[in-house]
Amino acid sequence: MAKFIFITGGVVSSVGKGIVAASLGKILKGRGISVSIQKLDPYLNVDPGTMSPYQHGEVFVTKDGMETDLDLGHYERFIDTDLTSASCVTTGQVVSSVLQKERKGDFLGGTIQLIPHITNEIQQKIREAAEKSDAQVMVVEVGGTVGDIEGLPFLEAIRQMRKEGDTLYVHVTLLPYLSTTGELKTKPTQHSVNELRRIGIQPDIVALRSDFPVSSEVKEKVALFANVDSKAVIPLLTTPTIYEVPLTLEKEGVGDFIAQKLDLPPNEANLGYWRDMVERMKAPKPKVHIAIVGKYTELHDAYISLKEALKHAALCHNLEADIIWGSSDDLLGESNILDCVQGIVVPGGFGTRGVEGMILAARYAREKDVPYLGICLGMQAMVIEYGRKILKTEEVNSTEFSPHTPYPVVSLLEEQKGVKNKGGTMRLGSYPCRLVKGTRAFEAYGSEMTYERHRHRFEFNNDFRFLFEKEGLIMSGLSPDGELTEIVELRDHPFMVGTQFHPEFRSRPASPHPLFMSFIHKAKNTPCKVESDAYISGQR
């Protein structure tokens, strides 16, 4: 039977529950305990797949094809484990499941209610995730903030699980700082804990997020009003890197506290390599300037896995990835942001807006010999741009953006056409990719086969394959049957590679993705056209 750690948040949203959950998983795994993590999200959408990135940030994709919250990316990167669809539960999923059972008559004509039917379903999904992962400890993060109406069924469900024993509750809150009085205020935390206790949950640990040092007096005050031991009040100061949080928690004795409360083996946490990695991250290093040219760059969380993957690869080259955010809409104006970078990444996205700017970025990289990594839509932009070059017409396009283009170099497969449910035409999750020997892609991976995660609808049109390869755009990664193009690369270019999949989803701090490693290797030796730190800083 698994033991459960439930994490709730108070005072404000985005307080860092996901990083705390991932960090607890890391320190427990460092003690030799098998861990899995689950996110409970109280929104009515079945998943975030149809949400705007401005609403929900990045959509992370699991290996089995579930579109999930970005926190699952943090979980995977910290505990170095591939999670599944069982690790993401939403109100939409829970309600859909209960209503399907009701329609089948599973409740024998009974009245369906929030309690016990919805709460029982939530508990069942928590237990199923633990069973499928075969974890000794299941860390469960409850999305939202205590006091939100939509989160009440989830809180009631985890409250009921206390009676089963082997449960521990962690409440993460914010300590606001008042500059006029120069002090951290505990009152919001007191109210948040009181609200949690009113629901019936007494936290075992209170984690205090703060931008300023937390004094012992503040800790004692929170301990008194939250009715917890002072050693269970954990200051969590803002750190230079999120990867330092597990070390902070371990230093504060959280690992020992949890082991004692949940009757786990009192092993020491083996975090030596993680500590060394964090020290290297914090140490001064030469910078490599990389532009991310996308549709949603105003919200950096829309590309959180991509940002982390670039950092992982740069660190392995003893560099710091200095990311310059460029809106693909702005490239159509007077912006010369690309003149001051050593590499260009064009990420995925949906819809017509900003695509011409992405195509312009691909053209710049091709003509100026700047290393380029195109991901999903970024690959398609690269294909469209090269098609316009060799066919000498601006009519080359994708049928997503120009349904009647005479040169549909990117289009739907025949079996996708006519499907009304958009999710039914998506390629989601892990698919095999066969790498072609003698290509940059094969050189990067060092093997003939890889499995990568997809999230897209349109594919490279095979009607143009012979022409493109004849003109120098190589299909260097293919599906095992050779029918689907997974990777393209430009033959006579330092590094211009496009992937139909999302390699960033598989990058980990201690094991960067090989394509990002190769990209950074080429970028670090590329001179900037404009050497102006002031200009670059203005684009962040």
Spell out the alpha helix ranges (H) of 30-86: 53-56, 71-79
Q: Does the residue 226 lie in any domain?
A: yes
- Please identify, among 278, 312, 327, the residue that sits at the C-terminal boundary of a domain: 278
Same domain, 352 and 337: yes
Q: Does the residue 456 lie in any domain?
A: no
- Bridge partners of residue 37, in order along the sequence: 139
Same domain, 168 and 211: yes
- Which residues are identified as catalytic? 376, 502, 504
Same domain, 274 and 295: no
Instruction: Provide the 10 A C-beta neighbour count for residue 139.
Output: 26
Give me 192's structure tokens. Answer: 């948040």
- Check which CATH number belongs to the domain holding 7 and give it: 3.40.50.300
Helix, strand or coil for residue 212? coil
Q: Does the residue 127 lie in any domain?
A: yes
Q: Does the residue 439 lie in any domain?
A: no
What is the distance, to the nearest Å, from the Cα of residue 327 to the centroid of all Cα atoms in its chain? Answer: 20
Q: Spell out the per-residue pLDDT of the chain, length 540, in tens.
A: 899 999 999 998 888 999 999 999 999 999 999 999 999 999 998 888 888 888 888 999 999 999 999 999 999 999 999 999 999 999 999 999 999 999 999 988 889 999 999 999 999 999 999 999 999 999 999 999 999 999 999 999 999 999 877 999 999 999 999 988 889 999 999 999 999 999 999 999 999 999 999 999 999 999 999 999 999 999 999 999 999 999 999 999 999 999 999 999 988 899 999 999 999 999 999 999 999 999 999 999 999 999 999 999 999 999 999 999 999 888 765 557 888 899 999 999 988 999 999 999 999 999 999 999 999 999 999 999 999 999 999 999 999 999 999 999 999 876 656 555 554 468 999 999 999 999 999 999 999 999 999 999 999 999 999 999 999 999 999 999 999 999 999 999 999 999 999 999 999 999 999 999 999 999 999 887 655 444 444 444
- Please identify, among 231, 250, 278, the residue that sits at the C-terminal boundary of a domain: 278
Same domain, 273 and 293: no
Q: Does the residue 359 lie in any domain?
A: yes
Same domain, 173 and 298: no
Q: With both helix axes pointing from N to C terminus, report the angle between 152-160 and 119-133 in degrees, rounded to the nearest 10.
A: 60
Total count of residues recorded for the chain:
540
Which secondary-structure segment (H or E) carries 466? helix 465-470
Same domain, 176 and 302: no
Same domain, 247 and 321: no
Would the pTM count as exceeding 0.75? yes
Domain that holds residue 291: 284-412+462-475+487-537
Structurally, the chain folds into a number of domains equal to: 2
